[in-house]
Amino acid sequence: MKQKQFSRSDALCCIPVRNSQVLENRLDSGEILLSYPETLRPWFSSLILRMNKKAELRRMRKLQLDILGTGVWDLIDGKSTITEIIASFAKLHLLYHKEAEISVVQFLRELGRRGIVGMKQLNG
């Protein structure tokens, strides 16, 4: 059976979900410092295992969010869709909708690439 094509509007209806292994540290400046596990590439893992069989194959990396990134992070509650997050972000900072959409989508894409958030389909 042919799989349904995933459109832009389908993507905007997804719900971003935080990775439960991500640790959050709120700084005095109000910004957030995230610590997230990074899985090593298979060839690198096998190399390390050859040298040390008890080696930890995951390492924690850090990412400091700026004030806008912190705002979006706070809006990721596991219930709101990307569209809803964009609307809330635009309303919070009186942003032009398209401007908020590009910023939020770019930010979520970067978090997704690092494995900090995953996407849940609304009906899936």
Partner 1 sequence: MDETSDKAPWDEIAWNGIAFQKPSCWEIATIGRNYLMLGTRRDPKMEITWGSTSKSASHHRRLKLLQSDIRRKHGLSVDVWNPPESWLTALPGHKVSGFSWLNESGKAIIVSCPTCNRASVFQFYQRRDENPGNFHTIVSRLLSTFRDHSENCRLKWAVFDIRALLPAAFQIKSYQFNPGYMAMDFTTHGHIIGLYRWSPASVLLAGRNLSDFAGSLPFYPVSTSETLKDAERMAWASPPTFSPLAQIAAFLSAKFLHHRFLIRHDSGTNRILAVRSESRHLMDNNIFDQIVAGYETKAI
- Site residues (vs partner 1, CB under 8 A): 8-9, 12, 67-68, 90, 93-100, 102-103, 106
Task: Decide whether 22 or 65 has the Cβ nearer to partner 1.
Answer: 65
Rounded CA-CA distance 25/100 in Å is 25
Instruction: Give me the least distance between CB of 103 and partner 1, in Å please.
Output: 4
**58-64 vs 32-39, strand pairing mode:** antiparallel
Interacting residues of 119 by C-beta distance below 8 A, sequence separation 6+: 11, 14, 15, 16, 17, 112
**Shortest distance, CB of residue 123 to partner 1, whole angstroms?**
17
In angstroms, give the least distance from the CB of 9 to partner 1: 5
